């Protein structure tokens, strides 16, 4: 028997008719073409170093228990294509290849602003006619989860001039502007008013919640103007911004989409694509959580899927399959 071969050593060639004890991960010596597990040898243990013994081995096919060079990724083969999201699995591969640096897309920086005289920062003293702002936290956490840098501008009062001043102060160092509130057809809509002289279009999308939307540019910076109700903000991000980021930058990964049966019947406005909040139950059925209202944050927090009811459907019976997104 030849000398043992520890992992990390460069072994001498193996003569015909001989064997060598070899550790897992060690380099196969020239002349060897297979590895026999020690449990199948006679004797079935490694002899003490320096002791010359005779070992009986069973017949075994060439290549058994040998990992050939290039069996994972061959020389010249693409390891990771451009646009690949670098998660733990991909970073592990780069480390195994000895690669310490790769060229990546820079994270986008988003300016996030909420409007409304009625809105207070969480923690402030609540007064009659006021509500705590949920939109900044809801959108900021969604954006951070999606891999964006976020500048949280806070709450802007219903003054178009103040909003314009705020946006101009950030245009030099942001890639995208996202606002919430101030996009409907009311008398005090600061986002609409601030964008009058800019290339921003406001319209009503046939979706519920999240109908009022604005899109365009403010002094060359792309703008998405979401409605003010918190669930509408969340649905707007999931329906419009998150998929766009996935398509353009390959990150974040698209939401897992699948079909599942309803645990109860539902109704939906036939002229709108309705996005309801729901729970995927242990039996594989979908239970809607809460009602249609775009203020129902409790129902949103309890949900783990978004349920899609396409335009043109007004009723679905129990057991009907619907498209859902895991969130």
Q: List average pLDDT for each run of 10 residues in the chain, which is 327 residues long.
A: 89 89 93 92 83 85 91 94 90 96 93 95 94 96 96 94 96 97 83 95 96 97 96 97 92 94 97 97 96 92 97 97 98
Q: Within this chain, do residues 245 and 261 fall inside the same structural domain, yes or no?
A: no
DSSP line for 182-250: --SSSS--HHHHHTTTSEEEEEE-SEES--EEEEEEETTEEEEEE-SSHHHHHHHIIIIIHHHHHHHHS
Task: Assess if residue 128 is contained within a domain.
Answer: yes
Last residue of a domain, one of 249, 268, 296: 249
Which residues lie closer than 8 Å to 169 by C-beta, 6 or more apart?
none
Q: Please name the residues in contact with 92: beta carbons below 8 A apart, sequence gap of 6 or more.
A: none
**Opening angle at CA 220, ends 214 and 225, nearest 5:** 15
- Asked if the structure places residue 74 within a domain, the reply is no
Q: Rounded to an integer, what distance in angstroms lies between the CA atom of residue 167 and that of residue 172? A: 10
Place of tokens 């005779």: 54
Residues 271 and 299 in one domain: yes
Residue 318 lies in a domain: yes
Domain boundary among 47, 68, 89: 68
Note whether residue 89 is domain-resident.
no
Residue 275 half-sphere exposure, CB side, CA atoms within 13 Å?
25
Note the pTM of the prediction, 2 decimals.
0.81
What pLDDT is stored for residue 239 in this prediction?
Answer: 97
Judge if 120 and 240 occupy the same domain: yes
Question: Domain end: 249, 279, 307, which one?
Answer: 249
Q: Are residues 177 and 275 in the same domain?
A: no
Neighbour count for residue 198 (Cβ, 10 Å): 15
**Whole-number pLDDT of residue 128:** 95
**Which structure tokens are listed for 2?**
């030849």
Q: Do 276 and 191 have their domain in common? A: no
Whether 161 and 130 share a structural domain = yes
Residues 202 and 124 both lie in one domain: yes
What's the confidence (pLDDT) of residue 272? 97
Burial of 158 (0-12, 13-18, 19+ CB in 10 A): buried
Looking at the structure, tell me whether residues 245 and 116 fall in a common domain. yes
pLDDT value for 54:
83
Q: How many domains does the chain have?
A: 3
The answer for residues whose C-beta is within 8 angstroms of residue 91's C-beta and 6 or more apart is none
pLDDT of residue 204: 95
Q: Are 170 and 276 members of one domain?
A: no
Same domain, 57 and 153: no
Q: Which domain holds residue 35?
A: 1-68
CB distance 213 to 233 below 8 Å: no
Q: Are residues 262 and 242 in the same domain?
A: no
For residue 194, is it within any domain? yes
């Amino acid at each position: 028997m030849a000398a043992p071969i520890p992992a990390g050593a460069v072994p001498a060639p193996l003569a015909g008719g001989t064997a060598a004890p070899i550790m897992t991960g060690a380099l196969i010596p020239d002349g060897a073409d297979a590895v026999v597990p020690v449990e199948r040898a006679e004797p079935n243990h490694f002899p003490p170093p320096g002791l010359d013994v005779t070992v009986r081995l069973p017949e075994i096919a060439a290549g058994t228990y040998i990992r050939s060079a290039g069996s994972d990724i061959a020389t010249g083969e693409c390891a990771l294509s451009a646009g690949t999201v670098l998660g733990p699995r991909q970073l592990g591969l780069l480390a195994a290849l000895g690669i310490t640096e790769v060229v990546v897309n820079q994270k986008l920086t988003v300016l996030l602003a909420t409007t409304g005289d009625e809105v207070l920062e969480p923690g402030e003293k609540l007064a009659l006619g006021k509500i705590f702002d949920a939109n900044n936290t809801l959108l900021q956490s969604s954006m951070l989860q999606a891999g964006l840098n976020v500048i949280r501008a806070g709450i802007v009062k219903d003054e178009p001039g103040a909003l314009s001043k705020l946006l101009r102060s950030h245009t030099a160092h942001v890639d995208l502007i996202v606002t919430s509130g101030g996009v409907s057809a009311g008398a005090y809509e600061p986002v609409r008013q601030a964008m009058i002289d800019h290339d921003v279009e406001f319209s009503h999308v046939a979706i519920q919640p999240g109908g009022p939307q604005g899109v365009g540019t403010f002094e060359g910076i792309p703008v998405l103007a979401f409605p003010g109700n918190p669930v509408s903000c969340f649905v707007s991000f999931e329906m419009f911004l998150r998929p766009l980021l996935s398509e353009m930058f390959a990150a974040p990964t698209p939401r897992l989409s699948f079909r599942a049966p309803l645990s109860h019947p539902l109704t939906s406005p036939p002229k709108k694509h309705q996005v309801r909040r729901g729970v995927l139950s242990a039996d594989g059925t979908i239970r809607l959580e809460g009602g249609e209202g775009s203020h129902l944050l409790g129902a949103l927090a309890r949900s783990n899927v978004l349920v899609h009811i396409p335009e043109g459907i007004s009723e679905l019976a129990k057991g009907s399959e619907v498209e859902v997104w895991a969130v």
